Chains A and B, each alone.
Chain A
Amino acid sequence: MTKTTLIPVGPQHPVFLEPLNISLKLKEETVVGAEINYGFNHRGLEKAMAADFRRTIYMCERICGICSFYHSTAYCQSMESLFKVEVPERARFIRLVMMECQRLTSHTLALGHTAEAMGYESLFMQLFREREALMRLVNDISGNRVHYSINTIGGVRRDIPMEKQKEMLSVLDGLETRFAKLAKVFKDDRTIKERTIGKGVLTKEMAKKYCVVGPVARASGIPEDIRTSYCRDLDFQPIVRDEGDSYARSMVRVDETFQSIQLIRKALTMLPEGPLEVPVKGNPSGEAFIRLEAPRGEVIYYVKAKGTVDLERIKVKTPAFVNVAALSAMVPGCEMPDIPVITVSVDPCICCTER
């Protein structure tokens, strides 16, 4: 009869970018259970966001630095439905292009993070070199590297002019060829395969039970992607795998990177002419509910307004909240050294989760 050992991982841990604490229950080298402790990053943003609906665009981008544009888009869309205005088509497409750009930066970050957790320092560096090209691209378009701040209620504030579109396409072409080489490492490298295949398996039943979303759900065989509804005109098909292990989750991200590049190309060729924003006046009232597909899964915004500058309630549901919880179903039976790789393969985003 072996004793159960309790090992705390985090809140400060070299693998995690953010403060997350996992208490692992170990029997010898095998993990038998995990308890996830939240709350290190809770700032009370939902209350702060409800203070003034005009400032919320600024505040909601600060929920998360990796998917900031999704938060501001979801918020602006819910406000637009409260004001009953229709966003110009050009603005809708610019939002879509920027969202896909952010998905690219997020997925390359997640893959780089996975590589680093496995000890693939060189792969991590190369992925981040490619990511830097993307960061410079979005910096050129929006003026910011992290928080794009180009959304406004009723449209977008910055255009993507013709010469920027050409530049964008050439950057993406270069990125695609270079990224294909790196993706091959992820796909075929023997060590990566051995460290990820069959590790941290989340079966379809468990995935449904934990209500996981995004790449984690799609790697467990659930074809859920909100983009199927709002990217209809771009002929979008979600990428689904059935294995449900760390390898499948990484591969979904790898494939989605190429898919995002394709989506940006298509969206740029279809970019309609027209105004960028419609004017919005007065204070909002009523209720709105918006779903968007962020890099980690669906993000939900619920806004209730009461006709004044402050909002009655703004509720955000972020993808990482459910995905991180599913970790406790993935880790039992694994060995201690696999924990960082499994955790990172879920792509935890604590700032989103806790707000």
Chain B
Amino acid sequence: MASTMTPISPQEQEALKASIFQRLHPRIYLERFLSENIRPDGRDFDVWRDVFVNVGSITTADGSALVRLGNTTIVCGVKAEIAEPELDRALEGFLVPNLDLPAICSPKFKPGPPTEEAQVLSDRLNEVLLASGMLPLSSLCIHPGKAAWVLYVDATCINYDGNAFDATLIAMVAALKNTQLPKATFDQESGTTTCSRKTKMPLEITRTPVSMSFGIFDSTHILSDPTAFEEPLLDTTLSVVLDSDGQLISLSQLGLGSSGAQNSLQSCMTAAKKRRGELAQYI
């Protein structure tokens, strides 16, 4: 409040004008940037934001990761519990991924039950994690039909600046790679499972899925790693999920596929492959 009372300099006035224009006419604002071949945050179309990964900082979780993708910040923690396997899948454990987009991370989210966006993202993350087979569910079995591990992979967004899907998938995979499970033994007579305090083992992770997302603006410009400002203006969003060998795990295109769609798909795939190589050092 105090800041509005102090006189502002001409530069600040210009900046204020620009930000008012950005809020009132976001589309024209973005178009003007793109016609100059640059994006509002100063990136070229095909440039990704920096990634920062920190694992194991949360001691209450069995595995954890904090991931920053530009300003988007995701914290993910894995909690392991024990449950009885499903009757038709006696040899398998459970992997339960969920993403929460709470009101803290952006003014567009309200407190309360998960928003539609959070529900869709959680479901897609679940699909990718299961479809990739990155963690064979049979490796979570403690005793067939009696006991198996349940891994609750919960991610929370602290700062939302677009492309939460890519950031969350990195966080979830990094947290799972960081997870250590105690050695568990099932006692047939008492029907209980006991865990060892001393021996801990990492999970048997076989693949490392990483997602690369693109947005297509006005059917012409392919923007990699869209920000929160660009996201609502995009006609099409494309996500390519690749494993460490560059093999395709999942591909989704939401929205308009113009006649040039095949070309755009092709160029997104090529760009994703290149980016996957760069990300190998983080995950």
Asked if chains A and B come from one complex, the reply is no
